[in-house]
Structure 1
Amino acid sequence: MKALTTIAFVFLSILVFGQKSIPSAEVKTLDGQSVDIQEYAQNGKITVISFWATWCSPCKKELDAIADLYDEWQEAYNMELVAITMDTQRALAKVKPMVESKGWPFVILSDANQVLRNALNFQTIPQTFLLDQEGNIVYTHSGYVPGDEYELEEKIKALGK
């Protein structure tokens, strides 16, 4: 019995202390205003952070697919998506017109200086992070193939319970 209690304690400790929270990092709005990503990550909502770029075809496909489901997800799960472009300072002029033409309904931010990307230590995009209501990273996914949005929805649904 003592061994079982010890195993249970270790497992729960890993669950509680093994979660990584989103780091404090400065990103910018498309109007150039600086914001800390934690303002979005620690808002009491389930938050999806998706890193993308205008030149990344799979990124745009992922965000298009999520945009089709976004209103439903917001209503059902009290969640928010923040799409963070990795476009360079020079390429940022393309972002706003593209977002407007796509009609993406989510928050769009820029990490042109790659501060957040470096803090999260990932290499490829699209890169998606799912955060719980306290801002802890509970799931991450790299790349996109059609249908990945439904896997993400299942993860969101599990958090919303």
Structure 2
Amino acid sequence: MKMKRNGPVMVIALLLVLLAAYQMMQNGQNARAAAHNSSELIRGKPAPAFTLKGLDGKTYQVGGEGEREKPLIVNFWASWCGPCHEEAPDLKRMYDKYAKQFDLYGVNVTKGDRLEDVKGFIQKYNISFPVLLDQEGKTAEKFRILFVPTSFLIDKHGNLRDVIHVLPPDMLEKKIQMLING
């Protein structure tokens, strides 16, 4: 009689053990996949390659084989982002000051933005560096963008050197100088 009452409990316990084992296997596979994908964003390793159209109508290619003439900052932003508005004047000043020594591409996460707002942002801050449009969000995915603004500092060999967010102007300038001299 006792065995009949414990039977359902044993079946449930067995199912829970099997479910736990299955979840552990899935987590292991997910961790391996994440480790494989994260190799795209390791400091000192090549930055992910991408091709995007700019507001100027030109096509820009980043990454891949070969060296660049200058180091590069890829800044992901959106017009609705408060910190992006805070950062824009500093990025413009740094670009105007060091444009001959590094490139700066502003990548608008257009999938979550409106083109009219993007153009208004560019006009408001008199942005002179190329603005690229990530209309499908695929480039932001490659760079695993969780929030904007996020900037990637890439040396002239195409390797990721640093990832930064809004910094005070003096710290931003130091990071840019290190990238240029790096």
TM class, shorter-length:
0.7 to 0.9
2:142 is aligned to 119
Does the Cα contact within 8 Å between 1:51 and 1:127 map onto a contact in 2?
yes
Moved beyond 6 Å, runs of 4+: none
Match of 1:49 among 74, 86, 90: 74
RMSD: 2.6
Q: Per the alignment, do residues 19 and 103 of structure 1 end up closer, same or farther by CA in structure 2, a change over 3 Å counting?
A: same
Query: Deviation at 1:109?
Result: 0.5
Query: Deviation at 1:55?
Result: 0.2
2:3 is aligned to none
Q: Residue deviations 1:109-155, cap 9 Å, x none?
A: 1112111111111201100111111111100013x25x1x3223212
Q: TM-score, normalised by structure 2?
A: 0.66
Tell me, what secondary structure is at the counterpart of 2:89? helix
Aligned pair count? 139
Query: 1 CA distance for matches of 2:112 and 2:150?
Result: 20
Query: 2 CA distance for matches of 1:33 and 1:74?
Result: 19
Q: Percent sequence identity over matched residues?
A: 25
Query: 2 CA distance for matches of 1:34 and 1:105?
Result: 16
Does the Cα contact within 8 Å between 2:77 and 2:106 map onto a contact in 1?
yes
Q: Are 1:155 and 2:175 counterparts?
A: yes
Does the Cα contact within 8 Å between 1:52 and 1:125 map onto a contact in 2?
yes
Gaps of 5+ in 1: 1-16
Does the Cα contact within 8 Å between 2:54 and 2:60 map onto a contact in 1?
yes
Query: Deviation at 1:18?
Result: 5.6
1:106 is aligned to 129
Tell me, what secondary structure is at the counterpart of 2:146? coil
Match of 2:84 among 41, 59, 73: 59
Query: 2 CA distance for matches of 1:42 and 1:81?
Result: 16
Structure with greater Cα Rg:
2
Q: TM-score, normalised by structure 1?
A: 0.73
- Report 1:124-139 matches (<5 A): 124-139=147-162
1:19 is aligned to 44
Query: 2 CA distance for matches of 1:90 and 1:53?
Result: 6
Q: Per the alignment, do residues 130 and 90 of structure 1 end up closer, same or farther by CA in structure 2, a change over 3 Å counting?
A: closer
Of residues 79-88 and 95-104 in structure 1, the stretch that sits farther from structure 2 once superposed is 95-104
Match of 2:102 among 71, 76, 79: 79
Greater RCO between the two (CA within 8 Å, min separation 6)?
1
Gaps of 5+ in 2: 1-41
Query: 1 CA distance for matches of 2:173 and 2:71?
Result: 11
1:141 is aligned to 164
